[in-house]
């Protein structure tokens, strides 16, 4: 499918993209190639093909949920640049 310079400029305007005049021919060819490929895909019979979100199956891999000892409180605070009353002291990020 051929796409015109005017259509490219309209799409660029709507997308808030600037395509320099010297890149217009290159962009036209790339977009025309993409649209031609999509036309080829539309010719395929996909009636028995299930829709999918990814090209490969994805599975969540969770670790086994076990109770384990946590990091010692004093050891965690040992690397803190500042601590106050048993807590990490950090710069204030929210102003009152």
Report how many domains make up the chain.
1
Element (H, E) at 5: helix 5-15
Region 73-96: mean pLDDT is 88
* Angle, CA of 11, 5 and 35, to the nearest 5°: 65
15 within a domain of the structure (yes/no) = yes
> What is the residue-averaged pLDDT of the chain?
89
Kindly state whether residue 81 falls inside one of the protein's structural domains.
Answer: no
pLDDT tens digits, one per residue of 3-31: 888 899 999 999 999 999 899 889 999 99
Say what the pLDDT of residue 29 is: 93
In a domain, 30, yes or no: yes
Domain assignment present for residue 51? The answer is no
Instruction: Provide the residue range defining the domain that includes 31.
Output: 5-42
The pLDDT score that the predictor gives to residue 79 is: 86
pLDDT greater than 90 at residue 1: no
Indicate if the pLDDT at residue 40 is higher than 90: yes
């Amino acid at each position: 499918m051929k796409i015109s310079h005017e259509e490219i400029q309209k799409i660029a305007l709507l997308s808030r993209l600037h395509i320099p005049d010297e890149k217009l021919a290159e962009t036209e060819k790339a977009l025309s190639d993409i649209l031609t490929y999509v036309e080829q895909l539309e010719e395929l019979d996909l009636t028995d093909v299930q829709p999918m979100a990814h090209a490969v199956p994805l599975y969540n891999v969770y670790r086994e949920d076990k109770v384990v000892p946590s990091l010692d409180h004093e050891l965690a605070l040992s690397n803190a640049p500042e601590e106050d009353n048993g807590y990490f002291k950090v710069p204030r990020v929210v102003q009152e």
